[in-house]
Structure 1
Amino acid sequence: MTAPAATTTTTTTTTAAAAWLRRFHPADDAPVRLFCLPHAGGSASYYFPVSRALSPRADVVAVQYPGRQERRHEPCLDDVRELADRLVTQMLPSCDRPVALFGHSLGATLGFEVALRLEAAGITPVALFASGRRAPSRHREDERVHEASDERLLATIQGMNGTNAALLADDELLRAVLPAIRGDYKAAETYRYRPGPPLSCPVVVLNGDSDPEVTVREAEGWTDHTDGPVSFHWYPGGHFYLNEHAADVIARIAQQIA
């Protein structure tokens, strides 16, 4: 009577992990597993080029949030801590080797919360790459994009230049994904850092030098959140600077995790 129950539990757990975690170029023998966390409105497929470039040096696992692509029928999560709690549950079985975290924008804040949970579980990441996001303790009171009209929300994401051109050209499809985008913006804009012990892992901070979302002072605040080394890297460009500097960013990731 116990065997079927165990089988069902294993199958359910595997299915849940498969929903959250994408491995486009599996590298089972890689010495490091790199978890990549998307920006607001982003999806796992954004990191396909990163996976292709780093395999087999790293086993790249791209995270798929609820509410988009094949998970579009699931309710999206609009709270960073809840998202981190659920994600770490699925990640832990894959932490059987050194792990690193890369997050852009919302993904960087989520990466910080995930790193806190991993370290609490005895797993210190090789590195946290925090891209396009100010330090967790630096927030802006005037951010209310998630409360804006659909038109203003659409204008905001179009102005970021980080959304696939084909999606922007399809108004019906774009409006279909607005609930997920709005939920992501709510998660990012309502997040507030809760004081606690800092991380131990290195933090690599990457930003565009003309990104209106991150000032130099806001970026420097990352030094308050780890006892490990913090390095800063600025690239020409705005919030999605990494689209134009993908090769340099990937090379920096490879160098750090090596």
Structure 2
Amino acid sequence: MTGTTDDTWIRVPHRNPDSGTRLVCLPHAGGAASYYFPMSAALAPDVEVLSVQYPGRHDRRHERPVDDLHLLADRIAEALGPWTDRPFALFGHSYGALLGYEVARRLRAAEHRPLALFVSGRRAPSTHRDERLHLKPDASLIAELKSLDGTVGKLLDNEEIIAMVMPALRADYRAVETYVHGPGPELDIPVVAFLGDDDPKVTSQEAARWRDHTTADFSLEIFPGGHFYLAERWKEVTSSLRRRLDGVVHSTT
């Protein structure tokens, strides 16, 4: 059974029916599936990128955003079931990294074993910072985004854009800031953590704690840049992903 390109949850920027591997990509807080277009283009045709579209943005903007990370992970894992007919891995940035971890746990419990989990720009689930931006005024959330991503921040000077993105953004922040790591088995797949060396949201020590969440191999790779280092480092990141995906594929064959 295979997924379809008109799937509500899944976008396939570059359809590659003959690719041997899929990479499921989960966006950051306030982000959309289109964020991973550069990664999809760079990995095609060998790796087919599936980018998850959360409710409340772009073509799903009229749907209510999900503000509970565990509930959203349940829904994404269910939606991914038909797409697990080929070897696949998961990649998530920031909020998407934590979500990717919870999706991986659910897929593993359903006997859909990912090749690996790639987590970017996010501290491990076992670490904690008392962050409550989701309770603050819109201006505080906007200031946060501007401090992390100057390119996107410029768009937030437009009141119409603010009104459009704020419900999903606030829901995502609520989901990640109220997340509690639940009981259950940890992963048994390789975990790779990517990090910008000037990321104010996560230290290398916090990223290294991801090693506690798998019984398999763990590695940490640091790139120049801040929280959204990806925007400047797509080439380096996709090169690393391709090399590491080749490694895990060959180790399972």
Q: Give TM-score scaled by structure 1 length.
A: 0.91
The AA in structure 2 aligned to 1:56 is: P
How many Å separate the matches in 2 of 1:39 and 1:162? 15
How many Å separate the matches in 2 of 1:192 and 1:22? 28
- Choose which of 60, 73, 91 in structure 2 pairs with 1:84: 73
In the TM superposition, what are the counterparts of 1:169-180 in structure 2 within 5 Å?
169-180=157-168
Structure 1 residue 256 corresponds to structure 2 residue 238: no
Equivalent residue, structure 2, for 1:241: 229
Q: How far apart are 1:212 and its partner, in Å? A: 1.2
CA contact (8 A) 1:131 1:207 kept: yes
Aligned Cα root-mean-square deviation (Å):
1.6
Equivalent residue, structure 2, for 1:128: 117
Equivalent residue, structure 2, for 1:207: 195
Q: Give TM-score scaled by structure 2 length.
A: 0.92
Structure 2 unaligned segments of length 5 or more: list them.
247-253
Structure 1 residue 111 corresponds to structure 2 residue 100: yes
Closer/same/farther in 2, CA of residues 108 and 152 from structure 1, 3 Å limit: same
The AA in structure 2 aligned to 1:219 is: A
Structure 1 residue 154 corresponds to structure 2 residue 142: yes
Q: How far apart are 1:52 and its partner, in Å? A: 0.8
How many Å separate the matches in 1 of 2:38 and 2:60? 21
Structure 1 residue 192 corresponds to structure 2 residue 180: yes
How many Å separate the matches in 1 of 2:189 and 2:19? 20
How many Å separate the matches in 1 of 2:168 and 2:153? 18
Structure 1 residue 23 corresponds to structure 2 residue 12: yes
The AA in structure 2 aligned to 1:18 is: D
How many Å separate the matches in 2 of 1:163 and 1:145? 21
Counting aligned pairs with the same residue, the percent is 52
Equivalent residue, structure 2, for 1:98: 87
CA contact (8 A) 1:38 1:63 kept: yes
How many Å separate the matches in 2 of 1:224 and 1:162? 33
Structure 1 residue 181 corresponds to structure 2 residue 172: no
The AA in structure 1 aligned to 2:148 is: M
Structure of larger gyration radius: 1
After TM superposition, which residue ranges in structure 1, 4 or more long, deviate above 4 angstroms? none
How many Å separate the matches in 2 of 1:149 and 1:68? 20
Q: How far apart are 1:251 and its partner, in Å? A: 0.5
Q: Secondary structure, in 3 states, of the residue corresponding to 2:8?
A: helix
How many Å separate the matches in 2 of 1:112 and 1:248? 23
Aligned pair count?
244
How many Å separate the matches in 1 of 2:24 and 2:89? 6
Structure 1 unaligned segments of length 5 or more: list them.
1-12
